[in-house]
């Protein structure tokens, strides 16, 4: 996928959006299995997985784009309804 994205990057501002539901669920399950400390809140798990996925996307794009091409991961702040 990174090669395909790199093909349209020259001369364009590219924004990649992704989901992270399965990754958040996995981290929540892992946290629930460890009882020595309180688990992180769901919004923090969301930010953690967004950062992890963004990091991997940046790594892959960095491998195929020119070295001077700026890359950035932007996290979103979510509000979790406890109801």
Confidence at 25, pLDDT banded by 50, 70, 90: very high
**Is residue 38 domain-resident?**
yes
Residue 75 · residue 51 · CB < 8 Å: yes
Domain contains 70 = no
82 inside domain: no
Domain interval for residue 37: 2-64
> What would the two tokens of residue 46 be?
């969301």
In a domain, 16, yes or no: yes
Give 24's pLDDT tier (boundaries 50, 70, 90): very high
**Has residue 77 been placed in a domain?**
no
Q: Report yes or no on 71 lying in a domain.
A: no
30 part of a folded domain: yes
Identify the sign of the CA torsion 75, 9, 69, 66.
positive
The answer to whether residue 7 is domain-embedded is yes
Q: How does pLDDT run across 33-79, given as a tens digit for each residue?
A: 989 999 899 889 999 999 999 999 999 999 999 999 999 999 988 77
Residue found under tokens 């992704």: 18
pTM of the entire predicted model? 0.84
Q: How many domains does the chain have?
A: 1
The DSSP line for 34-62 is: --SSPPPPHHHHHHHHHHHHHHHHHHHHH
12's tokens? 């364009």
């Amino acid at each position: 996928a990174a090669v395909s994205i790199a093909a349209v990057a020259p001369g364009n501002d590219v924004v990649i959006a992704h989901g992270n539901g399965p990754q958040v669920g996995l981290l929540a399950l892992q946290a629930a299995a460890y009882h020595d400390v309180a688990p992180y809140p769901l919004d923090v798990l969301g930010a953690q997985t967004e950062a992890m996925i963004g990091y991997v996307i940046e790594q892959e794009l960095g491998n195929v784009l020119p070295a001077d091409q700026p890359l950035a991961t932007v996290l979103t702040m979510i509000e979790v309804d406890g109801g």
